[in-house]
Amino acid sequence: MKIVLGSKSPRRKEILSLVCDNFEIRVSDADESYSPDTPLSEVPKILAERKAMVIEMAEDEIVIGSDTVVLIDNELLGKPKTRENATRMLKKMSGKAHLVVSGICVRSKDKIYSEAVTSTVYMRELTDREIEKYVDVWKPLDKAGAYGIQEMAGSFVSRIEGDFYNIVGLPLCRLMEIL
């Protein structure tokens, strides 16, 4: 079977390339809105399903859709739209634990499987200067929660529980079990 990644994320591409050397990328243009009644921990699963479902596929293909969010204090942190928003997100997570939830959907012509995978990230107390420097240098506007653990922000993290790659954006261990 040919694998299709329904994502433009360079991080997801890099993660999938660790276990699969021949796959195609087809960018999904799925609607990423959701009802305010949706439990926040289910949002990434719903969005991953949408992303996988809008990709046209052949009989011999498997499509992978994924979406990642950060949850803290009953708030969903997606991708920040501004520098100020990124700074606010990092200050909110400073010195606290937060959840990173990635939805994953694997779809073939006759089967669809989806779920949400959760990892816990413990962030040390950050100084305003560290946050400002990180936002200015790494420009994390394309990352849920305004940070990439695989970058300099990894030095902000004192401990994780769960799949490291889930925090980066694609729960690799669970994906391999599903496949």
Enzyme catalytic residues: 67
What is the 8-class DSSP label of residue 120?
E
Q: Which two tokens mark 87? A: 């700074």
The residue ranges of DSSP E strands in the chain, in sequence order, are 2-5, 23-25, 61-72, 75-77, 97-107, 112-123, 157-161
Taking CA atoms, 99 is separated from 21, 40, 41, 145, in Å, by: 30, 11, 9, 10
Contact in structure between 39 and 60 (CB atoms under 8 Å): no
CA-CA distance, 69 to 42, in Å (whole number)? 10
Cα of 89 vs its chain's centroid, Å: 16
